Amino acid sequence: MAEETVVNRVQRRRAATVEEILEAAWVLAAQDGLAGLSLRHLAGRLQMRPQSLAWYFPSKNSLYDALYARGHEDFRRRLAEAGPLDVPSAARSFAAFCVENPPRYQLMTQRTVPGFVPSDSAAALARETFGAWRRALQRAGVNDRAHVDVLTALVKGLVDQQITVDPTGDRYLRHLEFVIDMFTRAVASHPPIGAA
């Protein structure tokens, strides 16, 4: 029906605009800090009035929620597209994903935006993504959750220091291979406390 087609066209247009908004939001977050995001600045950057932006995202929280959800979708897609991974390439994928967009990393893995709590649906998405990460590591031979938690934390520590202390260099991430190797050997010989 013609009616259906018009609706689809409208939806596509809307989706494209949302896409533009999210893209600009990451850029602004990188400039002004994630918690410093301003809907006014964002609107200005997109050549619209703040009240027009509100038509797409009626609150700051709804924008953060969309960014949060999108981040988890992106990492999940990244994992899926990479196909089967071994431990080193899984760790490298995670680290690369984090440092390529620091505010996204911050939003997804920390709680630094005052008042922001992911919606139920976004939180469910995050759990699915963590499940995918866990299964990827499982296929790579990391079988219990304690090991997954340890590897995740170790890579996160390098990433976080890299972003905070040396955002343009490689002072911390250059030790990634060393840490991966250390982890692999340790897991092979000594199970972590609390392992299944």
Please identify, using beta-carbon distances, which residue of 2 and 153 lies nearer to a copy of itself.
Answer: 153
Q: At how many degrees (to 10) do helices 87-99 and 145-165 cross?
A: 40
Q: Does the footprint of a copy of itself cover residue 61 (CB under 8 A)?
A: no
Q: What residues from 144 to 183 belong to the interface with DNA (CB under 7 A)?
A: none
Number of shown-chain residues binding a copy of itself (CB under 8 A): 43
Q: Does the footprint of a copy of itself cover residue 152 (CB under 8 A)?
A: yes
Q: What residues from 51 to 90 belong to the interface with DNA (CB under 7 A)?
A: 51-52, 54-56, 58-61
Apex CA 147: angle with CA 144 and CA 153, to 5°?
140
**Candidate segments 9-17, 89-97, 131-139, 159-167, binder of DNA by CB under 7 A:** 9-17
**What is the rounded CA–CA span in Å between residue 72 and residue 46?**
24
Closest approach, Cβ 8 to a copy of itself, in A, equals 40
40 binds, among a copy of itself, DNA, none (CB under 5 to 8 A by kind): DNA
**What is the rounded CA–CA span in Å between residue 123 and residue 127?**
6
Supply 39's token pair: 């809907």
Q: What residues from 118 to 147 belong to the interface with a copy of itself (CB under 8 A)?
A: 146
**Candidate segments 32-40, 66-74, 167-175, 185-193, binder of DNA by CB under 7 A:** 32-40
**Which ranges of the chain does DSSP label H, i.e. alpha helix?**
2-32, 39-45, 50-56, 60-82, 87-99, 102-109, 120-139, 145-165, 176-189
Please identify, using beta-carbon distances, which residue of 11 and 143 lies nearer to DNA.
Answer: 11
Q: Does the footprint of DNA cover residue 109 (CB under 7 A)?
A: no
**What SS3 class is residue 9?**
helix
**What is the rounded CA–CA span in Å between residue 152 and residue 43?**
36
**What is the rounded CA–CA span in Å between residue 24 and residue 3?**
32
Would you tell me which residues interact with DNA (CB under 7 A)?
10-11, 13-14, 17, 37-41, 47-52, 54-56, 58-61
